[in-house]
Amino acid sequence: MKIAVVGGGAAGFFLSGRLKRLLPEARVVLIERSSRVLAKVKVSGGGRCNLTNSFAEVSDLCHVYPRGHKLMKRLLREFSHEDAYRWFEAHGVPLTTQDDECVFPQSQNSESVILCLRREAEAAGVEVRTGCPVIAVRRREGEGLLLVYDETGERNELFDRVAITTGGAPRGEGHNWLSALGHKIEKPCPSLYTFNINTRALTLLMGIVVENAMVGIAGTKYRAEGALLITHWGLSGPAVLRLSSYAARHMDENNYNVPLLVNWTGETNVEKVAEQLRVCLRDAQRRQMSNLHPFGLQNRLWLYLLERAGIASDKTCCELGSKGLNRLVHVLTSDSYEVAGKGAFREEFVTCGGVSLESVSMRTLESKVCPGLYFAGEVLDIDAVTGGFNFQAAWTTAYVAAGAIAASLRDREAGDETRR
Ligand SMILES: Cc1cc2nc3c(=O)[nH]c(=O)nc-3n(C[C@H](O)[C@H](O)[C@H](O)COP(=O)(O)OP(=O)(O)OC[C@H]3O[C@@H](n4cnc5c(N)ncnc54)[C@H](O)[C@@H]3O)c2cc1C
């Protein structure tokens, strides 16, 4: 029995290690195109690797997996975040759960996770090959699956089963050979990025964080809550990253130029915002508007918002009047900007889209069009918001695919035995 796992990232390592444990007699070859394995794990979570989440604040998986939540709901029953937590601790990586429910190694260093995955693959007896790009997979009826390593097709190798764990490809690179086999590919595009906004008065406020804000795309239902960070190129922070994930396709179709709404208060009920302001104004009648700072807004941001609402900062609170109040409430709850592109690649970045879940079995992650071929990790049309959910998808899908490959080979052996 010879099995290839194509792609030496998180999913590839987890899958091959487990597979080799399940089928010690099989040859499991992990094939990586570059010279370095687990490169994304290394840079993940700012070098600390946010490898899962406690899920304590997740009321519905669709809030964290904009693509693939139904499949994840099913597969997490087989390998959950708790299983992942236990697995890493049992394999020598003590973990810690932060207040925001993100799980990191106690070492605060992604190197611990890399070492663990490499050690496990080695201990299990997985053969790791680097510098070996796979350029195609072909079916050989009755024989297995042929991996092709060069354009001429002369360098190739036959396997009984193949798992594809080649990761995300935001520009669709590397998907041609999978679509050539008949898989449906959901159009890939980037997810989890920051927004460029060319409003100089805003970007001059760089460094300011608003803990509870809400951002949305005008004319759509896309909304996201959380902390908002003003940067020297626009807006960032968890709320923006979440919105970029929810609206990934919409943003891509609109060339990253969309009207953005910012609610600086985080309160969606406009009447409540107005009422809170009225109370503040009443309590501070003789003070200047500049001294108000409602909703915990920092001074520089408050002055900027007053200016946007056309309110002189030296006006006293009792002078504001209802028109001024309405303008202020509008700016606080529906401040509008134009997104002028997405931030550069330096932040966390995953792919929305990939191999369509319609093309794979929900139970085994085996291809429906190419028996013997399995998928795990970000190559599938599953992606999540930040918080460790993307790695959890890698561990879960890898675990399930490994189990399914092992079961299918055992069934084959049992069939052979019976025939004999
Ligand atoms: C900067 C950054 C930070 C991140 N931080 C976090 C985080 O803290 N928490 C979190 O949950 N997620 C994080 N993510 C997302 C997470 O890294 C990915 O979701 C995860 O790595 C996906 O794992 P994978 O194994 O499917 O793919 P990958 O890790 O991308 O691995 C795929 C591998 O396949 C190889 N490959 C591709 N094509 C071929 C081929 N044809 N032949 C052979 N090999 C091939 C690639 O070289 C690569 O090594 C981050 C992503 C980035 C970019």
Q: What is the per-residue pLDDT across 175-203, written as a single tens digit (0 to 9) for each?
A: 889 999 999 999 999 999 999 999 999 99
Q: How far is the CA of 176 from the centre of ligand 1 (A)?
A: 19
How confident is the model at residue 419, as a pLDDT? Answer: 63
% of the chain residues with pLDDT over 90: 89
- To 10 degrees, the CA torsion angle through 215, 218, 223, 229? -20
Residue 347 pLDDT > 80: no
Domain final residue, candidates 286, 320, 347: 347
| Mean pLDDT value across residues 378-399 | 97
| Mean pLDDT value across residues 93-122 | 98
CATH code for the domain in which residue 155 is found: 3.50.50.60
Q: How far is the CA of 159 from the centre of ligand 1 (A)?
A: 24
Structural domain range at position 235: 193-347
| Mean pLDDT value across residues 324-351 | 89
Q: Give dist(CA 266, CA 183) in Å, integer.
A: 42
Burial zone of 149 (CB within 10 Å; 0-12 exposed, 13-18 middle, 19+ buried): middle
Same domain for 353 and 335: no
Evaluate whether 189 touches 352 at the Cβ level (below 8 Å): yes
Q: How far is the CA of 377 from the centre of ligand 1 (A)?
A: 8
Domain final residue, candidates 306, 325, 347: 347
Ligand 1 atom with the smallest distance to the CA of 383 is: 19
Banded model confidence at residue 169, pLDDT cuts 50, 70, 90: confident
Same domain for 208 and 59: no
Q: Which phi and psi angles does 284 have, rounded to 5°?
A: -130, 40
Same domain for 99 and 171: yes
How confident is the model at residue 212, as a pLDDT? Answer: 95
Same domain for 41 and 165: yes
Same domain for 173 and 200: no
Condensed to tens digits (0 to 9), the pLDDT of residues 118-152 reads 999 999 999 999 999 999 999 998 899 999 999 89
Same domain for 200 and 309: yes
Q: How far is the CA of 118 from the centre of ligand 1 (A)?
A: 15
Same domain for 150 and 42: yes
Q: How far is the CA of 280 from the centre of ligand 1 (A)?
A: 49
Same domain for 290 and 232: yes
Banded model confidence at residue 285, pLDDT cuts 50, 70, 90: confident
Residue list, ligand 1 pocket, CB within 6 Å = 6-12, 31-34, 39-40, 43-45, 49-50, 133-134, 165-168, 174, 348-350, 377-378, 388-391, 394
Q: How far is the CA of 310 from the centre of ligand 1 (A)?
A: 47
Handedness of CA 323, 328, 333, 336 (dihedral sign): positive
What is the number of residues in the chain? Answer: 420
**Ligand 1 atom 10 nearest Cα:** 388
**Ligand 1 atom 6 nearest Cα:** 44
% of the chain residues with pLDDT over 70: 98
How confident is the model at residue 213, as a pLDDT? Answer: 97
**3-class SS letters over the chain:** CEEEEECCCHHHHHHHHHHHHHCCCCEEEEECCCCCCCHHHHHHHHHCCCCEECCCCCCCHHHCCCECHHHHHHHCCCCCHHHHHHHHHHCCCCEEECCCCEEEECCCCHHHHHHHHHHHHHHHCCEEECCCCCCEEEEECCCEEEEECCCCCCCEEEECEEEECCCCCCCCCCCHHHHHCCCCEEEEEEECCCEECCCHHHHCCCCCEEEEEEEEECCCCCEEEEEEEECCCEEECHHHHHHHHHCHHHHHHCCCCCEEEEECCCCCCHHHHHHHHHHHHHHCCCCEHHHCCHHHCCHHHHHHHHHHCCCCCCCEHHHCHHHHHHHHHHHHHHEEEECCCECCCCCCCEEEEEECHHHECCCCCEECCCCCEEECHHHECCECCCCCHHHHHHHHHHHHHHHHHHHHHHHHHHHHHHHC
Q: Minimum mean pLDDT among 190-194, 258-262, 292-296, 331-335: which range?
A: 292-296
Same domain for 56 and 163: yes
Q: To test ligand 1's pocket by mutation, which of 18, 34, 36, 40 has the most ligand atoms within 8 angstroms of CB?
A: 40
**Ligand 1 atom 12 nearest Cα:** 390
Q: To test ligand 1's pocket by mutation, which of 6, 32, 34, 44 has the most ligand atoms within 8 angstroms of CB?
A: 44
What separation in angstroms does the CA of 33 have from each of 28, 114, 135, 185?
16, 18, 10, 22
Residue 264 pLDDT > 80: yes
Banded model confidence at residue 94, pLDDT cuts 50, 70, 90: very high
What separation in angstroms does the CA of 196 have from each of 98, 199, 257, 320?
29, 9, 9, 33
Number of domains in the chain: 2
Banded model confidence at residue 344, pLDDT cuts 50, 70, 90: confident
Same domain for 287 and 161: no
Same domain for 104 and 17: yes
Domain final residue, candidates 347, 365, 396: 347
Question: Position of tokens 């805003």?
Answer: 202
Same domain for 207 and 181: no
